[in-house]
Structures are given as structure tokens and as C-alpha cells.
């Protein structure tokens, strides 16, 4: 469908959080120090759009924390409590944008859009991409509804779920490696090809920012052993994302450690270090078959950063411990999808070890 705005004026709240889009040269490198007004001043505004700026914080996004992400979630809800606001744009650093956008999407029940954008080139550079990205994000925020949280970058519109940073420096920095973008923006219109698949949104968390649970990420590799998983649990992690090889595989020792962690009440999600494709229960011998049997929750096509946010959101929800694995499964995998096709032997197979 093609979204074009009517002539009604639109009010957009722009929440500035820092990142490259707000970064200037500091003598030895770039760091975020520009205000939201400074960022907005570099961009033209779509016709009929007025913008109110909220300077929430100003950090390089590698310094993003769960506490800041919860603060951002609440700031967006505060902005949307004003019925006169038509949408929200969040300017954010690209390193952790995928995590913040997905966390907000898990809690976003409003039909009005929240649109994340940023830049790959710093503020004020001659070939800067920030001004165009801000313009496009404002255009999308002023036009669409019922699409959840979006990422708008380099003329493309992405669903928050599954979208990750795929390029360290290139302008076309974001994609969902397992799915296409949902649309594009340009020449005064927004073309949306499909609606994102989203689970039922969660209520706003009530936890204090200083009381957030620890959630760690542990990656398997050729010499991987349970040391870091056990260390995370011993350090008080209430959730762990295990990043397996292939379709979500590790070793028998790690599967045993997962079982021990789950028995202690630690929530474990299973993702993969492979860029695209789902976690699949194909292999035993410490593979996903054994890891899931030990209590790990497969992450579908979500990668580590977003799987971690789903674990965090589950722990912040008001469901009891016995219901958390089921909730986590729904957040990781979204609406129910068909099972993979069966082979002639009757087993599911869509990958290789």
C-alpha cells in the first residue's frame, strides 16, 4: 500500500539520544555532543509537519544500557500520552539501535508509529546521511499507522523485529537478513509492502531503572565450554542468551550447563551466530535438540541483541516464573508460524551442521 498524507498538519515528537547523528570531532575521534535541535536544524521538514524536540540523553550508542532503554520506552509513552501527537521519531546511534527499537516494539500498543533513525556519518560532514534520514523518518512518522516500531534508514522502512545492523560503515546500514524490508520512502510518499508480524504487546514495565535484572550473552565457538555460561549464572544473571553455531548448536557439556541454569531459575534463550535463518532442532550431541530439551528457548530468526531484549522484557513482565518460558517463546518467535517441511524420513530439516 502507498501511504500519502492528507493536508492535516502533523505534530511529531523527536526524542534525541545521541549517536553518530549527533557526533562531532573531539580531537581524537567523534563523540555525541549535539542537541536534538542541532540535529533537526540540519534537515528540511516535510510539508505540514511540526516537530517538538526532547533531549533525553546524549551518548554514543555503544554506551547504551538497559536502564537508558527503559527510560526511552517511558519517554515514548509519555509523548504518546498527548493525543495531539501524531508520531514519534527517535534519533539513536546505530550500534545498539536494533536492541532499543525491538525493546520498544515489544511494548508498543499504540496505532501511532515510533520511528528510529540515525546516521553512519557524523554531524556536519559534507556527505552526511543524517539530514536525509531524519527527513524520511519524519515523513514516515507523519504518514503510517498500525505498523509498530519501525527503523527508517537510507530510504528503506524496516520492521523493528529482526532488523539488525549489517554494515559497519555503509549508508545502507540496516536489514533483516531473514526477511525483506517492509517498504521504502521517497518523493513525498511512503510505500509499505507488508505489515510486520508482531506478538501481543506487553504492558509498560513497572521496575525501577536501578533494579533491572542482569541478562548476559554467551557465544559458542570451536573450543567453547560451559565456563562463561556458568560464570554468568554465578554472577547473578537472571537471563542468558546462548549464541550457538549453525542452526543453534553447542556441546553436551553446554547442554548440561543450560539444564543446571534453568533449574536455578535462569531464563535461557538460544540464538545463532549465523547471519540468517532460524534456530532449528535438528542435531543432538549438544545441538539444539539437547539444548531445547534442557530448557533453552529457541529464538527463531532473532539474533543475540534482540533475543536479549526479549529475555529482559520477559523478566520485567508480571508473569510468574512458571509462565516465563512460554512468554519468552512468543516474544522471540512472534505469531505462530507453520512448521518447517518434513523430509521423506519424517524429520524436519532445513540446514546443515
Active site residues: 20
User: What CA–CA distance (Å, rounded) separates 43 from 71?
Assistant: 26
Percent helix, strand and coil across the chain, each rounded to 5? 30, 25, 45
Instruction: Output the DSSP codes for 12-43.
Output: EEEEEEESGGGEEE-SSSEEE---HHHHHHTS
User: What CA–CA distance (Å, rounded) separates 71 from 69?
Assistant: 5
Comparing CA positions, the residue from 98, 100, 72 lying closest to residue 13 is 72
Give the helix ranges, DSSP H, for the chain. Answer: 36-41, 66-80, 97-106, 130-141, 227-234, 252-263, 288-293, 304-316, 324-333
Angle, helix 97-106 to helix 66-80, in steps of 10 degrees: 50
User: What CA–CA distance (Å, rounded) separates 200 from 107?
Assistant: 9
Are the CB atoms for 233 and 96 separated by under 8 Å? no
Half-sphere exposure of 169 (CA within 13 A, CB side): 1
Instruction: Output the DSSP codes for 63-94.
Output: G--HHHHHHHHHHHHHHHTSTT--EEEEE--S
Residues forming a β-bridge with 249: 245
Are the CB atoms for 25 and 122 separated by under 8 Å? yes
Comparing CA positions, the residue from 62, 220, 218, 94 lying closest to residue 163 is 94
- Other Cβ atoms within 10 Å of 168 Cβ, number: 9
- Beta pairing, strands 189-192 & 2-3: antiparallel
Are the CB atoms for 313 and 202 separated by under 8 Å? yes
Are the CB atoms for 80 and 112 separated by under 8 Å? yes
Amino acid at each position: 500500500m502507498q501511504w500519502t498524507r492528507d493536508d492535516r498538519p502533523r505534530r511529531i515528537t523527536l526524542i534525541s539520544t545521541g549517536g553518530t547523528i549527533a557526533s562531532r570531532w573531539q580531537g581524537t575521534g567523534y563523540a555525541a555532543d549535539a542537541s536534538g535541535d542541532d540535529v533537526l536544524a540540519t534537515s528540511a521538514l516535510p510539508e505540514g509537519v511540526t516537530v517538538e524536540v526532547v533531549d533525553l540523553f546524549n551518548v554514543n550508542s555503544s554506551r547504551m544500557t538497559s536502564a537508558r532503554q527503559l527510560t526511552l520506552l517511558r519517554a515514548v509513552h509519555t509523548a504518546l500520552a498527548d493525543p495531539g501527537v501524531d508520531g514519534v521519531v527517535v534519533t539513536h546511534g546505530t550500534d545498539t539501535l536494533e536492541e532499543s527499537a525491538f525493546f520498544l516494539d515489544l511494548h508498543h500498543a499504540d496505532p501511532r508509529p515510533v520511528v528510529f533513525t540515525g546516521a553512519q556519518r557524523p554531524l556536519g560532514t559534507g556527505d552526511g546521511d543524517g539530514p536525509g534520514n531524519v527527513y524520511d523518518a519524519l515523513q514516515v512518522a507523519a504518514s503510517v499507522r498500525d505498523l509498530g516500531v519501525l527503523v527508517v534508514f537510507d530510504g528503506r522502512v524496516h520492521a523493528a523485529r529482526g532488523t539488525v545492523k549489517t554494515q559497519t560503515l555503509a549508508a545502507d546500514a540496516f536489514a533483516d537478513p531473514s526477511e525483506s524490508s517492509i517498504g521504502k520512502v521517497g518523493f513525498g510518499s511512503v510505500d509499505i509492502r507488508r505489515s510486520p508480524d508482531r506478538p501481543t504487546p506487553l504492558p509498560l514495565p513497572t521496575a525501577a531503572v536501578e533494579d533491572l535484572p542482569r541478562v548476559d550473552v554467551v557465544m559458542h565457538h570451536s573450543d567453547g565450554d560451559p565456563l562463561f555460561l556458568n560464570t554468568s549464572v554465578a554472577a547473578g544473571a537472571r537471563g542468558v542468551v546462548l549464541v550457538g553455531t549453525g542452526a543453534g548448536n553447542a556441546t553436551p557439556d553446554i547442554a548440561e550447563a543450560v539444564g543446571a541454569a534453568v533449574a536455578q531459575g535462569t531464563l535461557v534463550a538460544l540464538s545463532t551466530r549465523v547471519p540468517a535463518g532460524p534456530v532449528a532442532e535438528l542435531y543432538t550431541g549438544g545441538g539444539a535438540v539437547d539444548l531445547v530439551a534442557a530448557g533453552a528457548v529457541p529464538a527463531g530468526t532473532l539474533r543475540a541483541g534482540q533475543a536479549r531484549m526479549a529475555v529482559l522484557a520477559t523478566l520485567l513482565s508480571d508473569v510468574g516464573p512458571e509462565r516465563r518460558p512460554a512468554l519468552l517463546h512468543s516474544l522471540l518467535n512472534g505469531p505462530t508460524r507453520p512448521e518447517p517441511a518434513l523430509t521423506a524420513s519424517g524429520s524436519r530439516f532445513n540446514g546443515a551442521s
